[in-house]
Amino acid sequence: MTPEQQLYAIVEQGLCTGCGLCQAVAGKDKVQVVKTNTGFERPVVVGDLDQQTVDQIYDTCPGVRADGLPETLVEGDTKIDNVWGPWRRMVRAWATDPSVRHQGSTGGVMSALGTYLLKSKKVDFVLHVKASSTNPTFGEPHLSFSEADIMEGAGSRYGPTPPLLDIKSVLDRGQPFAFFAKPCDVTGLRSYARHDPRVDELVKYTVAMVCGGYGAPSTTEGFLERIGIQMSELTSFRYRGFGCPGPTKAETAEKTVEAHYLDYWGDDESMWGLPFRCKVCPDGIGENCDIAASDTWIGGSPNRIDSETDPGANGVIARTKAGEDLLSEAETDGYLTIERDITPDDMSIYQPHQMRKKYAVWARYQGLKEAGNLAPTTNRLRIEELAAELPDHVNDYQRTGTIERVKIGKSTEPTPQKAS
């Protein structure tokens, strides 16, 4: 294959996460991550790609490489759970400020931590995402220098979002910062550190949400059609927030429509409209982060009654000494309220779909390989050890099911072309 074909193979075989890192690695004169004919943001080759550049993309792309926490950050007294990975402390917590807790969805922990990092001057800014200024259902990278900036990005963005698109220019600032994103985005940034030492020098904290995946554009378009709004009319779109989970809210120049979070996602996991890469994700739990924050709904999903009055609480995993210290300091200084310590067993109750996927993903990768497709390379995520705990027939079911999905095209995307 040519270098261009190699890059496109990541997309065509359903493994692109849309993080934007390939544009940063190659340069905008060679690769541009844009909205494409599929509705996703995908890399489009616009210049001559050389083999060295594509090799670096493959070494850093979180779609094809997913590593656990660097061994240098796993101190001797760190506990390691086969499913939930390295951890130093797990708690159930929320933002102490009621308005941050309410606006930030779940319990507002990530918003509170971002504000605390800025006000304590531990970092100069936070790189995270907010609603896109051009595509209301998408997200875009955002630098926050104040609490107001942080809250502008509060609430999850489930649409395509490339937080690493301009990571080189962010590093060029030469200022210490924190990175708040999806686990796969943090994985990409950690991988990029092998090629740019400024990452380890300047990125002081990484914080991620425990992520079940993001919504395929077709999922969002279908939802908008059901509530009587055309995508072309949309001026604002909020997936959740102002409650736990809070309403999904769509606005046009003429009207505002609010629906329940489950009206967007569906009432159970089988209804989630996710990109293929999310379905074979080996690390939705943020193993590569200093801190990961999750929803705490029993069974993994809200119900339609209690969610109307639920004030929200996060499950929080501090994985590194820096993350553990940050958690403690944010509580001491009044930014977080910690209700109680929890365990990996609690996290499995809150996030059973993460546990199921972690057990299944190794066999799914064997299916991808048998079908002749790329399969993500993983390190320090224990997925083979977890698969060994399962009966052979369970692994065979996952493996053959993946082969069938490849065969019928469920893992396939067309070669990306810039949307007209």
Other C-beta atoms lying within 10 Å of the C-beta of residue 135 = 18
| Nearby residues of 228 by Cβ (< 8 Å), 6 or more positions away | 257
One domain, residues 294 and 401: no
| Residue 307 in domain | yes
| Residue 368 in domain | yes
| Nearby residues of 104 by Cβ (< 8 Å), 6 or more positions away | 95, 110, 111, 112, 151, 154, 155, 241, 312
pLDDT of residue 78: 98
No. of helices (H) and no. of strands (E), the chain: 17, 17
The parent domain of residue 187 ranges over 71-216+270-353
pLDDT of residue 419: 86
One domain, residues 97 and 191: yes
CA 103 vs. chain centroid, Å, equals: 20
The first and second tokens of residue 64, run together, are 């094809």
| Residue 52 in domain | yes
Q: What is the DSSP string of 235-254?
A: EEEE-S-SSSS--EEEEESS
One domain, residues 290 and 400: no
- CB neighbour class for 412 (10 Å; exposed up to 12, middle 13-18, buried from 19): middle
Instruction: Compute the distance between CA of residue 380 and CA of residue 377 in angstroms, rounded to an integer.
Output: 11
Provide the domain count of the chain: 2
One domain, residues 175 and 312: yes
One domain, residues 297 and 400: no
Pairing, β 314-318 against β 31-35:
unpaired
One domain, residues 102 and 178: yes
Helix (H) or strand (E) holding 317: strand 314-318
One domain, residues 283 and 368: no
pLDDT along the chain (420 residues), means of 10: 97 98 98 95 97 98 97 96 98 98 94 98 98 94 97 91 97 98 98 98 98 93 95 95 94 96 86 92 98 96 83 97 98 98 98 97 98 98 98 98 97 92
Pairing, β 256-259 against β 248-252:
antiparallel
Q: What is the DSSP string of 339-386?
A: EEE--HHHHHHH-HHHHHHHHHHHHHHHHHHHTT----EEESS-HHHH
pLDDT of residue 308: 74
pLDDT of residue 420: 74
Q: What is the DSSP letter of 416?
A: P
